[in-house]
Structure 1
Amino acid sequence: MVDPTPTDAPVIELRGAGKTYRSGSIEFEALKGIDLAIHEGEYVAIMGPSGSGKSTIMNVLGCLDTLTRGEYRLGGTDVNDLDEVDLAAIRNRQIGFVFQGFNLLSSLPAWRNVELPLIYGGVPRNERKERAEQALVRVGLGDRFENRPGELSGGQQQRVAVARALVGEPTMILADEPTGNLDSVSTQDVLALFDELHARGRTIVLITHELEVARRAARIVWVRDGEILRDELNEDVAA
């Protein structure tokens, strides 16, 4: 099991992170100066109800949105100093995204969906196919290379999405409500896959409003009203 309290520099670090949304004269403070550090190999769940700020944290960590104030460092780099080209490169190379809605292209077979980040990264076609198929084998879909999303169960589609997140060997996996559209059996299958990835040393940040899902992580960060209420180890997993 990965040491839940490593001593090296964090992969993710938020310092005084604040985010204010404005619409005309109306302001909404989604994040209220939070501090958060996540180290390489950690499995962290960010847990909270709708409107708690967890989705804003996800967007900031994924370089999909920027802070109004404070600092975000990813792998030691101050994200606030980067332009859109640099941010796009970070999203493609350092972050593997897994979304609630799978975000698969229905007309493409599984391996073609998985190779998409490699296309954006300029990887040659032959290498893309080989790496996509290897990623599908890693998530237990070695016999589903040519199946389109409509020919796969919800759990299998989410496994394709995880393979797509893994194919570029990113610094971290950022999963936003990844079990929200799954039945209980598929939910357990996907969470077991995250357990395996964590055991192999992968950094995973899981955004969820479900306590049962959050409890699979080695550390749970409780968020409410744009603030971190608690940040604690899950002793059942971290032991």
Structure 2
Amino acid sequence: MNTTTLPTPAHRSADPATASDRAVIELREARKVYRTGEVSVEALRGIDLSIAAGDYVAIMGPSGSGKSTLMHALGCLDVLTSGSYRLDGVDVSELDDDALAEIRNLKIGFVFQQFHLLPELTAWQNVALPLMYARVPLGERRERAAAALDSVGLGGRADHRPGELSGGQQQRVAVARALVTEPTMVLADEPTGNLDTASTEDVLELFDQLNGLGRTIVLITHETEVGEHAKRIVWVKDGVIDREQVNRA
């Protein structure tokens, strides 16, 4: 993939020894129970998980394992039934809906299987959406969106709409959008599920580069080849962590 040099986040260290000193995610006895009438399903059954700043973790497991529920909890898209979740030192369980929305917008950069780009907006306008919600002035929004697009190799496509871009390019726009707020972590849910082999490699190479610059990445995937790009795999089964695997230094 031909990209420009990715900028090191100003408030992150690219030195792994320094980055790993600070925990970004701390789950303790995390439980999630879904109830429908008299039927209860325990999707998470007491998960303990810590992810350090600068780590690159893949969460894997079969269908029904609880990995999607875990992703929703980590992304503050759903709340735990019991247990605690601290994101970048903040106890998420103590936050109201407005504060959770702000956390999602500013501290978490989401990348989904479905790109979730608005077709009527240009690439830079799609990237700038989180900044608009944060009431960043227009001039600064455009400047930061352009820089984010440039960092993923799409500086020349800023004024193109999603329909004028390939699937791989659309996902890189989504990655740029995830980066534009300088989030605490990038949370990617099956980010290569709709991509062909070449585009998949492009996006995974981009994640590798971002992590090399100190970005914290949490990747949800059912594909072993994708998960193997992470430094660490956390296997989830029946709502608990089944095992962990270190992939590389």
What is the TM-score normalised by the length of structure 1? 0.96
Q: Following the alignment from structure 2 to structure 1, what is the Cα–Cα distance between the partners of residues 165 and 26?
A: 37
Q: Following the alignment from structure 1 to structure 2, what is the Cα–Cα distance between the partners of residues 48 and 182?
A: 20
| Alignment correspondent of 1:216 | 229
Q: Does 1:43 align with 2:56?
A: yes
In 2, are the aligned partners of 1:2 and 1:42 still within 8 Å (CA)? no
| Alignment correspondent of 2:144 | 131
In 1, are the aligned partners of 2:124 and 2:146 still within 8 Å (CA)? yes
| Alignment correspondent of 2:11 | none
Where 1:143 maps in the other structure, the secondary structure is helix
Q: Displacement of 1:3 after TM fit?
A: 3.6
Structure-to-structure mapping, 1:100-179, within 5 angstroms: 100-179=113-192
- Residue 138 and residue 6 in structure 1: after superposition, are their counterparts in 2 closer, same or farther (change >3 A)? closer
Q: Displacement of 1:7 after TM fit?
A: 5.5
Q: Displacement of 1:11 after TM fit?
A: 0.7
Where 1:11 maps in the other structure, the secondary structure is strand
Moved more, 60-69 or 1-10: 1-10
| Alignment correspondent of 1:24 | 37
What is the letter of the counterpart of residue 73 of structure 1? R
The sequence identity of aligned pairs, in percent, is 66
Q: Displacement of 1:6 after TM fit?
A: 6.4
Where 2:195 maps in the other structure, the secondary structure is coil
Moved over 2 A (4+): 1-9
Q: Following the alignment from structure 1 to structure 2, what is the Cα–Cα distance between the partners of residues 149 and 3?
A: 35
Alignment partner of 2:218 out of 199, 205, 227: 205
Q: Does 1:67 align with 2:76?
A: no
- Residue 195 and residue 146 in structure 1: after superposition, are their counterparts in 2 closer, same or farther (change >3 A)? same
What is the TM-score normalised by the length of structure 2? 0.92
In 2, are the aligned partners of 1:12 and 1:74 still within 8 Å (CA)? yes
In 2, are the aligned partners of 1:4 and 1:218 still within 8 Å (CA)? no
Where 2:130 maps in the other structure, the secondary structure is helix
In 1, are the aligned partners of 2:20 and 2:55 still within 8 Å (CA)? no
What is the letter of the counterpart of residue 240 of structure 2? E
Cα displacement string for residues 20-51 of structure 1 (whole angstroms, at most 9, x for unaligned residues): 00111111110000100000000000011111
Q: Following the alignment from structure 2 to structure 1, what is the Cα–Cα distance between the partners of residues 138 and 193?
A: 33
CA RMSD of aligned residues (A): 1.3
The alignment of Structure 1 onto Structure 2 pairs a total of residues equal to 236
Structure 2 residues not aligned, in runs of 5+: 1-13
Structure 1 residues not aligned, in runs of 5+: none
Q: Displacement of 1:86 after TM fit?
A: 0.7
